[in-house]
Each structure stands twice: as structure tokens, then as C-alpha cells.
Structure 1
Amino acid sequence: MFQVLKGDGRDVLAARFAGRLAREDIERFANWLESEMRERVDAGLLVVMEELEGYERWQAALSDLKADLRYNDRFAKIAIVGNARWEEAVTKAAEPFAEAELRNFDAEEQGTALAWLRDGDRLDR
């Protein structure tokens, strides 16, 4: 399941993923990103992953990767919030391809993640 969360106005976008993700969830995420990122540069992205069970099919995983990379250069920071160990492994694997600064936070650190995203210390480009 994909859900838009209340972000921080123009500086931080926020989304939640839970359960087993279908291709439709990723398409909704990609469409939401496209509409939100038209006029934004150096935004922060908060991704909350709760009880994520993976993808229904590999096509959803590939769609997820395409959605992530499409606006890759428009984000300054991306915070991944969740407890699963594999989420951290996925973040580490994505780092070489990401132009944004990536950081993992435990589920109880969502406020800390949001504060990190709001911090004005953006990456030098």
C-alpha cells in the first residue's frame, strides 16, 4: 500500500509504504512524485516503511526503481524510516546511483528524520 503523508510544505515530501506492494502502488507513487516535483529542486523525501512485506511481482520492484531514479537529481536528501534490516541493505545498494544524500532511521526516529530533512545543510552540487 502507498499513502501520501503530510510533509513540510515545499521542502519535504512524505510517503508511506506498507504491506506487499503492487505495481499499482508504485505507479501511484511515481505519478504523485511527478506532480509534486514539477517545480521543486533540492526537496527532501521522507519514506516511511511499515511492516513492508516486499513486492507482489518483480515488475513492481522494477517500476519502483524507475520511479526512484526519475527524480533522483531533484532531491537533496532522502530519509528512509523503518525497522527492517533489508531496507538498510537496499539503501546501501542504491547509494552509488543516488545523487541525494540517503540515510536510514529506525521507526521511532521519524521526528529525527524529518528534522534532518529540514536541515538547511544541503549537499553541494
Structure 2
Amino acid sequence: MSIERHGLSVGIERVGEDFFLTLKAVGKLTHEDYKQITPLLESALDGLEEPRGLVFVDATHMEGWELRAAWDDFKLGMAHGKKFKKVAIWGNKNWQEMAAKIGGWFVSGDVKFFTYHDDALNWLLSDD
């Protein structure tokens, strides 16, 4: 029997004055995954009034999106993209780097792709 893992894990905390959101994507994300996680994310982001959020995305175990899930992801970005100062995406596939560049069009802050975990966190927490 093969077990197919997919979904998003979310961590939320404060780092100094900043809101710190950690997302870990696993497998091929589905519309059902977004139906489960969207209310939690929207509730957490509701209180952010200025772009003070920092986001760390671990995409090292992500395989992609179903088409409807990609649309769900786009809608979340459009609704909340102005709330983030920086988004660091840690991945290991060429398509993830391209997705990060496209996603950067919809976020008011900086979006960067990294192949090393520590590089992503150091950039995210730096003042530049």
C-alpha cells in the first residue's frame, strides 16, 4: 500500500515586531488542501495592517499543484500579498524558482528563491 502525502503545514509567530509565517508544502497540493488551510491563514493575516510579515516557504517536498489548487494559491496571493515585507522560498527544483519569480509579481515585498535553508532564513531576517 502506497501512502500519498500532500498538504500545507503552517507555523505562526512573532520575531521582534514582525509577523513570521512558516509554510511547508508537501506533495501535489489540491483544492481540498486549500479549503482546509485558507481559513486559518486568513484569520492569522487579518490583523496585519501594514507590510510587516515575513514568510518562509519550505517547498523541498512539494511536487506541484492541481490546477484548481494553483488558482486557490493565486487568489490567496492577490488577497494578502501586500501584507508581506519578504518571502523566502526554499526549494530544490527549477520550476519552483520560476514559480517564485512569478509569485513575486503579486507580492508587494521582496520574493527570493533559495536552494539552501540557512541562506533563506538569513536573508529573511536581515535588514536589507
Q: TM-score range by the shorter chain?
A: 0.7 to 0.9
> In the TM superposition, what are the counterparts of 1:51-62 in structure 2 within 5 Å?
51-55=61-65, 57-62=66-71
The structure, 1 or 2, with the larger RCO (C-alpha pairs under 8 Å, 6+ apart) is 1
Match of 1:85 in 2: 94
Mapped pair 1:112 → 2:119: yes
Match of 1:39 in 2: 47
Q: Percent identity?
A: 27
TM-score normalized by the length of structure 1: 0.81
Unmatched tracts of structure 2, length 5 or more = 1-6
Structure number having the greater strand percentage: 2
Mapped pair 1:18 → 2:26: yes
Compare CA radii of gyration and give the structure with the larger one: 2
CA RMSD of aligned residues (A): 1.9
Name the SS for the 2:28 alignment partner. strand
Unmatched tracts of structure 1, length 5 or more = none
TM-score normalized by the length of structure 2: 0.80
Give the distance between the partners of 2:92 and 2:23, measured in 1 at CA. 16
